[in-house]
Amino acid sequence: MARRGALATAALGVGAAAILVISPALMVNGGAAHAVEFKPLAEFQSLRYTPKMTPDTVLDYRPRITRKYKSLPPRSLKSLPQLIRTFRQLKTVAAKRRGRWVSGMTNLGANTREYRPSDAELLLYVVGTRIHRVVRRGSLGAINSTLVEEGIKLERITYNRFNFRHADVIGAGRYFYCSPPKQVVVNLRTRLDASRQK
């Protein structure tokens, strides 16, 4: 049975000024909560609740990958060849270590079903996003020259993008969740349709 008086913040975005109050009577034996209401955050100041004011990130969701995250190549044109090589390595690992769908703890702010990506999938997402931003913001001539100099013939990359959110459950803690994977295709050598999502 869930704690009486359980409170949780809903996905209201950064700096939300309200708390989602979930009726404890509807959270018996893991049942989903159906009756909810929003109350001003000021009403709960006595609980010393501190909302998270920054965007939710991959490291919030999976702190254990911090060391590997910090070792990844930086986002820059100079590092593009290294990013691509790292991407290829992670792509191979991620194909063997896929994430899985699990039943979500709805009384802790989760969806009914939650996707739980592998560490390799999350790191691939990070590297893929860095490549995406380099290609989107860089000069096509400079990008092509860099790829040719390094002997890279790759035309495009595909990876899964994830978004992250959190729910604060008063008396239980802060829980981070990951969105379902959404495929992103990035063309490396053409500005036309340089990136798209499926």
| Confidence class for position 58, pLDDT limits 50, 70, 90 | very high
Amino acid code (one letter) for 196: R
pLDDT at 12: 38
User: For the segment 144-170, what is each residue's pLDDT rounded down to a tens digit?
Assistant: 999 999 999 889 999 999 999 999 988
pLDDT at 172: 83
Please give the mean pLDDT across all residues of the chain: 80
Does residue 122 carry a pLDDT above 90? Answer: yes
**The two three-digit tokens of residue 44, written as one number:** 């709960």
DSSP assigned state of 32: P
Listed by start position, the domains of the chain span: 55-197
User: For the segment 93-110, what is each residue's pLDDT rounded down to a tens digit?
Assistant: 999 999 999 999 999 999
Exposed / middle / buried, residue 34 (Cβ in 10 Å: 0-12, 13-18, 19+): exposed
DSSP assigned state of 163: -
Q: Give the residue from 157, 151, 160 showing the smallest Cα distance to 182.
A: 160
Answer yes or no: are the C-beta atoms of 61 and 69 closer than 8 Å: no
pLDDT at 92: 97
Q: What is the largest CA-CA distance in the chain?
A: 65
Instruction: Please indicate, yes or no, whether the overall pTM of this predicted structure exceeds 0.85.
Output: no
